Structure 1
Amino acid sequence: MSKNKRAKAAIDDGFQPELVKSARFEGIFEIPVIDKPKRIFIPGGITPFSRRNEAPTDSEGIGFFEMDPMFADVLRNPQAYAKELKKFPVVISPDCSLYRDAPLTVQIANVYKKNAISHYWQTQGIDVFALVRWGSRDTYTTDVLPEPIAFAGIPHDSIIVISTYGCIKTKEDKYHFEAGLDACLRALTPKIVLVHGAMPEKVFGTYLKYAEFHNYPNWIARKKGG
C-alpha cells in the first residue's frame, strides 16, 4: 500500500464506520449499543481466539483474553472473521485493553471499538456476550465524565462477562477492580456474570448475592487442570 493510501485509510476509516451503520448509540460519546443476546448460554469453557481451532464448536465460548497482538487482525478487519466465529455458540466482545495509566481518550476509544465490533458481529448472526472492562477511576465513576463510560452500550438485566486476569495482582489493582465491579453491578444489574480468571472470595464475596456468577480459569490454568 502506498504512503498516501495508508494515510487515507487511517484518517477516513480508522473508526470503521461501516461496522456501526445500523447501530444505536448511547451516551454523550455515542458508544454503540450491544443488544441483549437472543439466548442465554452458559459455555462449558472460554477458549482464546488464538486457540479457536482447538475448541469444540458446540460448547465453547470464544474470548480475547490474551495479548492484543494475538487478535490484532480481528480489530483491523472483524468482517473477515465473522463466518468463522459464527460456528461457536457464543463469542465474547474483543478485549480492547483499558490500562489505568492510559489517557482517558484512549480508554474511551477502546470502549467504542469493543462495542462497535460486538454490534457488527451481532448483525451477522453471531451470539455476542458483552464484555465489561473498566480502567482508571474515571471510566467507572462520574468524577470527571457525566456518565461512567465503561458501562455505555452494555445491556442491562442480562448476561455480561468480566475478567480478573492480570487485573488483581497488586493492592491497587484489587481496589480498582472491586470498585469497578461494585459500580458495574449497580449500573447494569446483570442476572448472570461470567468471570474469566481467578475469583477470590476477598474480592467477590460481597457481591455473589447480586447475580449468578460462573467462573472460568484462564487458558494456562485450565490446561494445567486449575
Structure 2
Amino acid sequence: MYKTQRNYENAQRMLFDGVGQYDIPELEPVQFDNAEFIGFNYARNAKEPENKAVHFFLDDYQFTRVWTDPDKYTAMLQRFKYVLTPDFSLYTDFPKSLQIYNHYRKHWLGAYWQMHGINVIPTICWSDRKSFEWCFDGEPTQGVVAVSSVGTQNSTEKKQRFLDGYLEMVERLQPTQIIFYGRVPDECKGNIVHVKRFSEKWHEVEVAQW
C-alpha cells in the first residue's frame, strides 16, 4: 500500500506532455481578479477559502509534502480560489540538475492541480542567467504570474540577479498581472499586485497598536 501511494517521483501517478529540453509539464494561463493571500502553512484551518489564494513563499521543508503525497492535499487545495505553484528553491550554488528537478516538480504539481480543476497561478523562479535556458519552460504567456523578492535585495549582486530574471520574465511571458511577494524594487514595472510578507503585516499591526 505504501509503495502504491508514494510512487517513485510521481511518474507512475501521472505523466504530462512536456516542453523544452527537459520535458517540463506545461501550465495553462489564468487571470486574477481578487483574493487574500495566505501561506500554505495556514491553509488547513483557513476560513472562507473560496476568497483566498495559497502561496508557497516559505521554507521548502514546510511544503515538500505536497510533492511526496500530492493526493493527500489536492482536495484541500480545491477549496481555494487560487493556488500558486510551489516555490521550490533554485539557489545559485545548487547543482544544475537539482535546480531543473525543482523546476520540474513545481510544474508537475501545477499541471496535476489544473487537471483537478484548481486555478493555478504559476510562481516564476530563476537562479542566474544560465537558468534562463530552462526556467521559463512550461510557463504560460499572457496570464497572471507570481514572484518573490524575499532574500534577493540584501546585496547588489543578488538584487541584480533578481532584476535580470524579472525583466527576462516580463519580456518572455508578457504577464497580464504580477503577484509580487515582498518588497518591490523601483526598477520592477508592470501590472503589479503587491502582497506584503507576514512579518511586514505584523510590524504594521505593532506600529498601529503602539
Query: When the two structures are superposed, what TM-score results if normalisation uses the length of structure 1?
Result: 0.83
Match of 2:48 in 1: 56
Q: What percent identity do the matched residue pairs reach? A: 25
CA distance, structure 2, for counterparts of residue 161 and residue 18 of structure 1: 29
Q: Distance in 1 between matches of 2:108 and 2:164?
A: 26
Per-residue CA shift, 1:112-160, capped at 9, x if unaligned? 00000110011111110011100122112xxxxxxx2110000011111
2:123 aligned partner, one-letter code: L
The one-letter code of the counterpart of 1:164 is S
Give the Cα–Cα distance (whole angstroms) in 2 for the partners of residues 24 and 167 of structure 1: 33
The answer for unaligned runs of 5 or more in structure 1 is 141-147
Residues 35 and 155 of structure 1 are in contact (CA less than 8 Å); yes or no, is this contact kept in structure 2?
A: yes
**1:14-46 alpha-carbon deviations (Å, 9 max, x no partner):** 43114543x231101111101122xx2334332
Asked if 1:47 is matched to 2:47, the reply is no
Report the 3-state secondary structure (helix = DSSP H, G, I; strand = E; otherwise coil) of the residue aligned with 1:173. Answer: helix
Q: How many residue pairs are counted as aligned between the two chains?
A: 202
* Aligned residue runs from structure 1 range 139-154, under 5 A: 139-140=131-132, 148-154=133-139
**Please, which moves more after superposition, 176-185 or 49-58?**
49-58
1:213 is aligned to 2:196: no
Structure 2 residue runs without a partner (length 5+): 206-210
Structure 1 residues 1-226: aligned runs within 5 Å: 13-18=7-12, 20-21=14-15, 23-37=16-30, 40-52=31-43, 53-140=45-132, 148-201=133-186, 203-204=187-188, 208=189, 211-225=190-204
Structure with greater helix share of residues = 1
Structure 1 counterpart of 2:81, which letter?
P
Give the secondary structure class of the aligned counterpart of 2:83. strand
**Cα RMSD (Å) of the superposition?**
2.0
